[in-house]
Structure 1
Amino acid sequence: MKIGQNISKDEKKLVKQLFWRSMTMYASVNFVSMGGGGFAYSMMPFINKFYDNDKDKAEALNRNAQYFSTTIPFSSFIMGIAASMEKENSQRDDFDAESINAIKTSLMGPLAGIGDSLFWGVWRVVAAGLAINFARSGNVLAPIVFLVLFNVPNFLLRYYGGFLGYSLGSKYIEKIYANGLIEILTKAASVLGLIMVGAMTIDLINFETTLTWSMNGEEILNVQEVLDDIFPGLIPMIITLVSFKLLNSKKVSVIGLILILMAVGVVLSLLGIV
């Protein structure tokens, strides 16, 4: 199948706008939504095209501004799928809008793993190695060689990824609805998304206590080793669940939670617990 052959001329213009706007995805990053603001900005041409009233547009923008983080070259592919789902949502009264974020969340983790390994772990090293050979010989084109080698595949994947995502989304989402499989897809995507977010917890949250008990100058108990034997990552999980509970209660803002965690970390450090 030729990429983009089932997309109208007007929609192709929208996908091209998505490509250019996707370059701002990490222009504004925060710990709440990461690249969510840039994602929503990239989706705005579709939102303005598909939705007629301000309420629907506001809901779509809020939906697409939620947490999003993946390897940049693959971001436009997910944006294309999300755009095709927004189109379906604008046309179908029975469309489950929550499935849009479910699909986004389920895709961003696996694609981030592939993209980081491919672009940052492999291709960047290859491009740098070739450029270093130019630099050793005193060739001033060395940095240009690196930038071209690294970025050409990046931009090609980002450009055609948007068309591929939008094309696949438009083609298969309609079939899924016709077969009555949308609820299964949404459930599966939600489960996979929760698994990916849960896996990120142990990777992003680090807590190791230095507490030990000694007797007659000999260490008899290492608290961290006991915790690791009982349940590796237990404290990070508890911190995550407590943070989620506080945020979900609406009693503590994100900034407030960050300040609380910083204060607790400083106090625990001063007490010699961590």
Structure 2
Amino acid sequence: MSKLTNVTKDEKKMLRKMFWRAFTLYTAVTPAKQGASGFCYSMMPFIDHFYKKDPEKKKEALVRHMAYFNTTIPLSTFIMGIAASMEKQNSKNKDFDANSINAIKSSLMGPLAGIGDSFFWGVLRVIAAGIAVSMGSTGNILAPIVFLLIFNIPTILVRYYGTFLGYTLGSTYIERVYQSGLIHILTKAAGIVGLIMVGGMSSQMVKFQTKISMSMQGASVLKLQNMLDQIFVGIVPLLLTLLCFYLLNKKVSINYLIFGVIGLSILLSVLQIA
């Protein structure tokens, strides 16, 4: 382990704390933040250590890690390790761009979620279930235990070593990238990737299909949805998303927006508009 991580004894201790705290990642999920509170809680050993002499920076770090976070659980600790190494650099280097920490987190969430979900949920879980079902069909009472072991042992090992690997890679390469000036390019690229991810999620998750139509002599002569699609496919979901974004910038509470969208959806459904 020491050859793999090449970190101090205190840092190893903090990484182990981070690993155990990471099990709380999605214990307090909200639509606006997802696993942000769990991520922040996992980062606290490093935040308390690196910023113990600077309460203001500590506060900024806590706020920083309450930003939206959502990725596949087994690979989440890898991102935590990288974020911890960047917090270390931020505490040592006055010129370090703290905004790059969340930019890197955002850029890694999507790709790692795709990889992790495909392997752990799409492959490993299916294999574990296949073996367990085969055993269960013969009446073997160990079938559920075998399923849990086959799925969870590799998952926990990836989470544990991913914590150390992320921190090691961050400590080794982040400083070099920063000194070379590539961090600014990387931050901008990460921001673009993050915006693409948000745009993709919005187009897939925000739906609107109106039922309004006009008929003459039993034949349909006008379908409002077809007209809207001819103007711009998905124009209503786009406008709704932009409206919510505008209201968020105006400091409108996310809870008001959530209940407002739910209420609007119910009203449109009751009136047979959508």
TM-score (norm 1): 0.96
Is this contact kept in 2: 1:3–1:163, CA < 8 A? no
The alignment yields a C-alpha RMSD, in angstroms, of 1.5
Query: Structure 1 residues 229 and 160 mapped into 2: Cα distance closer, same or farther (>3 Å)?
Result: farther
Give the number of equivalent residue pairs.
273
- In the alignment, the residues of structure 1 paired with residue 88 and residue 228 of structure 2 have an alpha-carbon distance, to the nearest angstrom, of 49
Instruction: Give 3-state SS (helix, strand or coil) of 2:4's partner.
Output: coil
187-196 or 36-45: which moved more? Answer: 187-196
Query: Which runs of no fewer than 5 residues in structure 2 stay unpaired?
Result: none
Alignment of 1:104-143 (within 5 A): 104-143=105-144
Is this contact kept in 1: 2:78–2:166, CA < 8 A? yes
Name the residue aligned to 2:259: 259
| Runs of 4 or more consecutive aligned structure 1 residues displaced over 6 Å after TM superposition | none
Identity %: 56
* CA positional deviation for 1:227: 3.1
Is this contact kept in 1: 2:5–2:164, CA < 8 A? no
Name the residue aligned to 2:158: 157
- In the alignment, the residues of structure 2 paired with residue 213 and residue 80 of structure 1 have an alpha-carbon distance, to the nearest angstrom, of 58
* CA positional deviation for 1:38: 0.1
Query: Which runs of no fewer than 5 residues in structure 1 stay unpaired?
Result: none
Q: Please state if 1:32 is matched with 2:32.
A: yes
**Over residues 27-84 of structure 1, what are the superposed CA-to-partner deviations in whole Å (9 max), with x where a residue is unaligned?**
1000111000000000000000100222211110110111000000010000000000
TM-score (norm 2): 0.96
- In the alignment, the residues of structure 2 paired with residue 22 and residue 232 of structure 1 have an alpha-carbon distance, to the nearest angstrom, of 41
- In the alignment, the residues of structure 1 paired with residue 227 and residue 115 of structure 2 have an alpha-carbon distance, to the nearest angstrom, of 35
Is this contact kept in 1: 2:203–2:237, CA < 8 A? yes
* CA positional deviation for 1:256: 0.9
Name the residue aligned to 1:60: 61
Alignment of 1:17-96 (within 5 A): 17-51=17-51, 52-96=53-97
- In the alignment, the residues of structure 2 paired with residue 2 and residue 193 of structure 1 have an alpha-carbon distance, to the nearest angstrom, of 34
* CA positional deviation for 1:221: 2.5
Residue 35 of structure 1 aligns with an amino acid whose one-letter code is G
- In the alignment, the residues of structure 2 paired with residue 227 and residue 115 of structure 1 have an alpha-carbon distance, to the nearest angstrom, of 38
Is this contact kept in 2: 1:3–1:167, CA < 8 A? no
Name the residue aligned to 2:222: 221
263-272 or 158-167: which moved more? Answer: 263-272
Name the residue aligned to 1:167: 168
Is this contact kept in 1: 2:5–2:165, CA < 8 A? no
Instruction: Give 3-state SS (helix, strand or coil) of 1:4's partner.
Output: helix
